[in-house]
Amino acid sequence: MQTNQAFTILQNAGGVRAARIITENRPKLTTFAVRRMAKKLRRGVPVAKIIHRKWFYGLPFYTNAYTLDPRPDTETLVSAVISDIACGDAPKILDLGTGTGCIIAAIIKNSVDTHGVAVEKSWRAARVAKRNFRNLKINDRIKVRRASFEKPNAVHEKFDVIVSNPPYIARGDTRVDAGAMHDPKMALYAADDGFAAYQAIAQNARKWIRANGKIYLEIGMDMGRDVRKIFESNGWKFTRRENDLSGTERVLIFEPRECLTTI
């Protein structure tokens, strides 16, 4: 099929932007493939899920139905970590619930001599993370571990930096956008009105953090106060917050309470 014909069909199904992205990334398309993609667009399937590719922090990531598509808001989390480690010693990083691996990969690619562990309980998502680490040529700096951060024995080491974008949408929340409906539910929803994952991390990550380490967490809208309470009640000290480009509080940073000196 000619590119202009494919573009017209895809545009009618999903708009100009979707048609442009698909035809630029898939220049050779059969009639069958175009009509199948158009059908997916009409069902609200995100373009990234159709072409299996999403850019994040200037890097290309493979994504599929078993992983959460990387989102621009999460770049705030990556930037916060990179800005803190830029002038320090090369840290050891732990990524909890890695999914595509986009968070730890972006940090590793933009820092010197860093290495780490990516924890993921879904074996299908873990395969995606490994694929992305290989494609980015950093698989020698990141180990993928099949485990759940809800279990205290998921990790047996200590780290300088812990990062996580855990599931934080309350089950039954109807405000989820159409694109997210095609992401895996385990990467989106959490019990206890969306706070269950934070509770598990707050309890278990104390065993995984070094004395002067920091934990960086992405949070949902209006969750900051409650997440702070969860972590402070589990022996963490809040150090600062970071807002995303829209001005929404997006990242909270904590340290183990006993490592901070009182002024």
pLDDT by residue for the chain (263 residues), tens digit each?
A: 788 888 899 889 889 999 999 998 887 888 999 999 999 999 889 999 999 999 999 999 999 999 999 999 999 999 999 999 866 567 999 999 999 999 999 999 999 889 999 999 999 999 999 999 999 999 999 999 999 999 999 999 999 999 999 999 887 776 666 667 788 888 888 888 889 999 999 999 999 999 999 999 999 999 999 999 999 999 999 999 999 999 999 999 999 987 544 43
> Tell me: domain 72-259, CATH 3.40.50.150, correct?
yes
Query: Which string of DSSP letters, residue by residue, matches 135-195?
Result: HTT-TTTEEEEE--TTSGGG--S-EEEEEE----EETT-TT--GGGGGS-GGGTEEHHHHT
The Cα 146–Cα 124 span in angstroms is 10
Helix, strand, or coil here: 92?
strand
Q: What pLDDT, on the 0 to 100 scale, is given for residue 88?
A: 59
What is the predicted pLDDT for the residue at 263? 36
User: For residues 96 and 150, what is the distance between their CA atoms, to the nearest angstrom?
Assistant: 10
Q: With contact defined as beta carbons under 8 Å apart, do 199 and 193 qualify?
A: no
Radius of gyration of the chain from Cα atoms?
19
Residue 243: how many CB atoms within 10 A of its CB?
A: 11
Tell me how far apart the alpha carbons of residues 17 and 15 are, in angstroms, rounded to a whole number: 6
Q: Which residues of 97-109 are buried (b: 16+ CB within 10 A; e: fewer)?
A: bbbbbbbbbbbbb
Give CA separation, 151 vs 28, 96, 148, 208, in Å.
Answer: 46, 11, 6, 12
pLDDT, position 136: 98
Indicate if the alpha-carbon torsion angle 181, 185, 187, 192 is positive or negative.
positive
User: Can you give the pTM of this predicted structure?
Assistant: 0.91
Task: Give the residue extent of every domain in the chain.
Answer: 3-43, 72-259
> What is the phi/psi pair of residue 114, to 5°?
-80, 155
Give me 142's structure tokens: 């990141």
Nearest to 252 by CA among 188, 168, 152, 163: 163
- What kind and span of H or E run contains 80? helix 75-85
